[in-house]
Chains A and B, each alone.
Chain A
């Protein structure tokens, strides 16, 4: 197990790990909230202008500014070297919005919502007290997909963040590419020992990078398979 101990003893890797946890947790929160507040209004057939608002969002799935224009906007909004550059440029995650919207439309019984409205509930209450609790299974899917996306992401971090803010995969890359022994860990050791430890850390950190997501996804496997099922049938 010494490879794993060394991974967390290494300050760069440890920082990277903490950063990844931070970005994943906050990013997933951001993702779930934005997906839900976008999907719910769009799922209400009685909302005036629903079609146009949907088009407004859906266009962004097919057309975009491209790498550089987006980068420039991020820079101009002061988000360089800021964690939020990892979340905001992705917009509201339209793929997820559509999945959740379809779920709301097809899996939340209208009678329940109507009953709540008759009891005097306003839109917010219906959303929070009826729709959200009933959508646990799809929320689990969105949570897992978001976590995976943020935990594994390295490219946005590469272009928008500084070295100290790098998430784990990016630190991992630095380690994998260097072939010499890593001096900040192996100061007191002989050459052979240092090399040995470096190689061990390479393997261990790859597992550290991959393990969290591998452990989580089986728990929601049933749900995302179902999600695709409805997607395929409805087209």
Chain B
């Protein structure tokens, strides 16, 4: 059954799209973070790593 008229792209659609993007981005970051942490750790001073100073950027 083909729809003859395209459904309009309303406000509630926009909000669901934004929520979707936000949620998937968060999930994506959670998945990527452990790997990122190890990459950062491999170019930082290990003592900084174990002191927690490298959770975002290398030292």
Contact = CB atoms under 8 A, between A and B. Distances in A.
- Complex A–B touching at CB under 8 A: yes
Contact of A210 (B35, B43, B45, B49): B35
B33 interface: no
A207 B38 contact: yes
Q: How large is the interface on B (under 10, 10 to 19, 20 to 34, 35 or more residues)?
A: 10 to 19
Nearest to B47: A196
B12 to A, nearest CB: 30
A203 B47 contact: no
A227 interface: no
B42 A200 contact: yes
Interface in A203-226: 203-204, 206-207, 210, 214
A4 interface: yes
A203 B34 CA distance: 12
Interface string B37-54: 011011101110110000
Contacts of A204: 42
Contacts of B39: 207
Contact of A3 (B35, B42, B47, B50): B42
Interface in A169-212: 195-196, 199-200, 203-204, 206-207, 210
Nearest to B45: A196
B46 A4 contact: no
A68 interface: no
A206 B38 contact: yes
A204 B39 CA distance: 8
Contacts of A207: 38-39, 42
B54 to A, nearest CB: 10
A199 B43 contact: no
B31 to A, nearest CB: 13
Contacts of B35: 210, 214
Of listed A200, A203, A207, residue having the most chain B CB within 10 A: A203
A214 B35 CA distance: 11
Interface of B: 35, 38-39, 41-43, 45-47, 49-50
Given A203-B41, A207-B39, 14 more contacts: A1-B43, A4-B42, A195-B46, A196-B46, A196-B47, A199-B46, A199-B49, A199-B50, A200-B46, A203-B49, A206-B42, A207-B38, A210-B35, A214-B35
Interface of A: 1, 3-4, 195-196, 199-200, 203-204, 206-207, 210, 214
